[in-house]
Structure 1
Amino acid sequence: MAIRTCLNLGRPQIAPVTLTKSPSRNCKFSVQSCSLSSNQSHKQLIVEVKEKLGRDYHSLPVGKNGRDDEEMILWFLKDRKFSVDEAVSKLTKAIKWREEFKVSELSEESVKSIADTGKAYVHDSLDVYGKPVLIVVASKHLPAFDVIYYYYPKRLGQVLFVEAPFIFKPIWQVAKPLLRSYTSLVRFCSVETVRKEYFTEETLPANFREKTL
């Protein structure tokens, strides 16, 4: 399975994120943040979310990825079509989830240990549309789609299920409701489609150079 993020790697605005495919190769990507150059109405909505969070959820942390992080608030506002109440509800759950799973404490070493299992890795090259690609070997790991939906809104560009076996269909029917509006980003396709439509010969991931996955 290939997950294409919606983040272009043009002008990096935050520190690079380093993920390791193998002990000998590092894949470095600078992730572009959600632009704060919004119109005045959007800025007012950000203020409203901050005030509501500060009033009703004052125990939540502040700072980067906290209840007063304007970039994070904007991501959730865009995801919720600029509904303050819905953005507050979803953002509150996301911040609590980050605290519970200690996301901010993740280290490069801990990410390397996951990459070494072969369950998933960040591909060295972008696809032909200029998007970074995360390769997930579904036979080894089926990612929690609710995590993508609830805690990383508007980050996902497309999910490709490549050569999904027949037995996967019942699993998809279970996962589909969790994706909700994100189901339009899912595509089932063949290896040949991946080769022709998403990569050049030079940038094609090794997984898709094989005849079978």
Structure 2
Amino acid sequence: MELRICNPLRRLPLLSSCSYQIKSSQVRRFSVRSCRLDPNESHKLVLQVKKKLEKDHQSLPVGKNGRDDEDMILWFLKDRKFSVDESVERLTKAIKWREEFGVSELSHDSVKSVAETGKAYVHDFLDVNGRPVLIVDASKHLPAVHDHAENEKLCVFLIEKALSALPEGTEDILGIFDLRGFGTENADLSFITFLFDVFYYYYPKRLGQVLFVEAPFIFKPIWQLAKPLLKSYASLVRFCSVETVRKEYFTDATVPANFRD
């Protein structure tokens, strides 16, 4: 099995040894709600960031998800614990990335060919916690066959689609990796790294939890390699069964078809 280890965003050092299983009780749901300021104070900081971006990064686009998007600025401020300088740095990178990646140009038609493989999709229903659900069928991911750039486009398109379905008051989404039938031909460490880096740098705190469902033994070495690269998001991963997905995350009416009895 050949693993392509190429982080397109930033190569990170490997950390110490890692365990394969993470108990449910260890899973931590990030929330920016824990970082709150008085609305007047937070708005002042938003304006500071906005002014600094306008002064130092005039070439950045404006509008939704641009340098003057106050909702986006506030979200990054919360993520960076209201540090103006850190927020400016992260926002600059995120806005540039969105522009270079062509996020605003992604559409159903632009990812249609790879989407038709059924390897990933946004579920039609929310989970029991009111979160949009992004599902990946790992057995249909074939890195030797599918173009990696197209895979990345599909990934970002689906993240955007899931986030657009966030109900009022909900901050994050649920990710489900269906690992039934996973084999060596499906192993793709670079894509896993890309996915979590995208969430970490450009959609911070938007991934609430990740379920690895029915992980086979062959997945163990992949996890051992991937975990150190996932940074804090590794703590969001829960290994579980199909039954757990059905009983703990959905109702009988909303459970995804592939996880029904």
TM-score range, shorter chain: 0.7 to 0.9
Structure ranking higher in helix proportion: 2
1:164 aligns with 2:212: no
SS of residue matched to 1:161: strand
**What do the CA deviations read for 1:93-112 (whole angstroms, capped 9, x no partner)?**
11111111111111232244
RMSD between superposed Cα atoms in Å: 2.1
SS of residue matched to 1:167: helix
Contact 2:126 2:133 in 1 (8 A): yes
Q: Which amino acid aligns with 2:40?
A: Q
Corresponding residue pairs, total? 175
- Distance, in Å, in 2 between the alignment partners of 1:62 and 1:186 is 35
Q: Partner residue of 1:175? A: 226
- Distance, in Å, in 2 between the alignment partners of 1:43 and 1:98 is 24
**What do the CA deviations read for 1:71-112 (whole angstroms, capped 9, x no partner)?**
111111111111111111111111111111111111232244
- Distance, in Å, in 2 between the alignment partners of 1:90 and 1:67 is 11
Length-normalised TM-score, structure 2: 0.61
Q: Which amino acid aligns with 2:122?
A: V
Structure 2: where are the runs of 5+ without partners? 1-28, 30-36, 142-190
- Distance, in Å, in 2 between the alignment partners of 1:124 and 1:56 is 42
- Distance, in Å, in 1 between the alignment partners of 2:46 and 2:254 is 40
How far off is 1:128 after superposition? 1.4
Contact 2:122 2:135 in 1 (8 A): yes
Structure 1: where are the runs of 5+ without partners? 1-5, 7-36
Structure ranking higher in strand proportion: 1
Structure 1 pair 175/41, CA: closer, same or farther in 2 (3 Å)?
A: farther
Structure 1 pair 82/114, CA: closer, same or farther in 2 (3 Å)?
A: farther
How far off is 1:159 after superposition? 0.9
Contact 1:77 1:84 in 2 (8 A): yes
Structure-to-structure mapping, 1:1-213, within 5 angstroms: 39-141=39-141, 142-143=191-192, 144-209=195-260
Contact 2:214 2:240 in 1 (8 A): yes
Identical counterparts, % of pairs? 77
Contact 1:114 1:120 in 2 (8 A): no
Contact 2:196 2:233 in 1 (8 A): no
